[in-house]
Structure 1
Amino acid sequence: MNSDTLKAIDSLTITFLVDNCIEWMTKLPPGFSHELRQHLADHPPVDEMTGVPFVDLENYCCGAHGFSALIETEVAGSKPHLTLFDTGPDSVSLVRNVRSLNVPVSEVERVIISHWHADHSGGLISFLNLRGSSTPPCIVDLHPDRPIARGIAPPPKFDKVIARLPSDPTFELIEKAGAKVETSKEGHAVADGTIWVSGEIPRVTDFEAGLLGGVRWFESENDNKGGWVKEEHIMDERYACIDVAGKGLVIFTACSHAGVVNVVKDAIAQFSRPIYMIVGGLHLAGTELSYRIPPTVDFLSRQLRPSPTYILPMHCSGFNSKVALQQSFGESCVPAGVGLKVQVNADREADDKLFPPVY
Structure 2
Amino acid sequence: MKIITIVENSFGHEGCIAEHGLSIYIETEKHKLLLDTGQSDAVVKNAEVLGVDLSLVDTVILSHGHYDHSGGILPFSQINHTAQIIMQKSAAEPHYNGERYIGIDKDILELPNVRLINGDVQLDDELFLFSGITGRRCYPQGNSKLSRMESGEKVPDNFAHEQCLVIKQNGKHWLLSGCSHNGILNILDRYGEIFANAPDYVITGFHMMKKDGEHTEKEKAIIIQTAQELAKMNTVFYSGHCTGIPAFDLMKEIMGDKLIALHSGEEICYELRK
Alignment partner, residue 18 of structure 1: 7
Structure 1 residues 68 and 82: alpha-carbon distance in aligned structure 2, compared to 1, 3 A threshold: same
Structure 1 residues 346 and 336: alpha-carbon distance in aligned structure 2, compared to 1, 3 A threshold: closer
Shift of 1:202: 2.8
Structure 1 residues 206 and 281: alpha-carbon distance in aligned structure 2, compared to 1, 3 A threshold: closer
Q: How does 1:188-199 map to 2 (within 5 A)?
A: 188-190=121-123, 192-199=124-131
Give yes or no for contact 1:19–1:88 (8 Å, CA) kept in 2: yes
Aligned to 1:186, which of 78, 96, 119? 119
Which secondary structure does the structure 1 equivalent of 2:122 belong to?
Answer: strand
1:73 and 2:28 matched: yes
Aligned to 1:63, which of 13, 18, 26? 18
Q: How does 1:310-321 map to 2 (within 5 A)?
A: 310-321=236-247
Residues 211-267 of structure 1 deviation map (CA, whole Å, 9 limit, x = unaligned): 1111224564xxxxxx4x132322110111123445x42211211100000111111
Aligned to 1:168, which of 101, 105, 114? 105
Shift of 1:101: 1.1
Q: Hey, what's the Cα distance between the residues in 2 that align with 1:148 and 1:249?
A: 31
Give yes or no for contact 1:245–1:346 (8 Å, CA) kept in 2: no
Give yes or no for contact 1:122–1:169 (8 Å, CA) kept in 2: no
Give yes or no for contact 1:121–1:169 (8 Å, CA) kept in 2: no
Give yes or no for contact 1:88–1:121 (8 Å, CA) kept in 2: yes
Q: Hey, what's the Cα distance between the residues in 1 that align with 2:134 and 2:125?
A: 23
5+ unaligned residues in a row in structure 1: which ranges? 1-11, 24-34, 36-56, 75-79, 154-160, 221-226, 351-359
Which secondary structure does the structure 2 equivalent of 1:212 belong to?
Answer: helix
- RMSD of aligned residue pairs (Cα, Å): 2.4
Q: Which amino acid aligns with 1:241?
A: V
Q: How does 1:276-355 map to 2 (within 5 A)?
A: 276-286=200-210, 287=215, 289-302=219-232, 304=233, 307-308=234-235, 310-344=236-270
Structure 1 residues 96 and 267: alpha-carbon distance in aligned structure 2, compared to 1, 3 A threshold: same
Q: Hey, what's the Cα distance between the residues in 1 that align with 2:229 and 2:141?
A: 16
5+ unaligned residues in a row in structure 2: which ranges? none
Shift of 1:110: 0.8
Q: What's the % identity of the aligned pairs?
A: 22
Q: Hey, what's the Cα distance between the residues in 1 that align with 2:187 and 2:16?
A: 29
Task: Choose between structure 1 and 2: higher helix proportion.
Answer: 2
Alignment partner, residue 156 of structure 2: 231
Structure 1 residues 195 and 276: alpha-carbon distance in aligned structure 2, compared to 1, 3 A threshold: same
Q: Hey, what's the Cα distance between the residues in 1 that align with 2:93 and 2:163?
A: 19
Residues 3-53 of structure 1 deviation map (CA, whole Å, 9 limit, x = unaligned): xxxxxxxxx211111110123xxxxxxxxxxx4xxxxxxxxxxxxxxxxxx
Give yes or no for contact 1:15–1:341 (8 Å, CA) kept in 2: yes
Q: Which amino acid aligns with 2:71?
A: G
Which secondary structure does the structure 2 equivalent of 1:242 belong to?
Answer: strand
Q: Hey, what's the Cα distance between the residues in 2 that align with 1:238 and 1:300?
A: 20
Q: TM-score, normalised by structure 1?
A: 0.68
Give yes or no for contact 1:199–1:238 (8 Å, CA) kept in 2: yes
Aligned residues: 268
Which secondary structure does the structure 2 equivalent of 1:300 belong to?
Answer: helix
Which secondary structure does the structure 2 equivalent of 1:334 belong to?
Answer: strand
Q: Hey, what's the Cα distance between the residues in 2 that align with 1:83 and 1:150?
A: 25
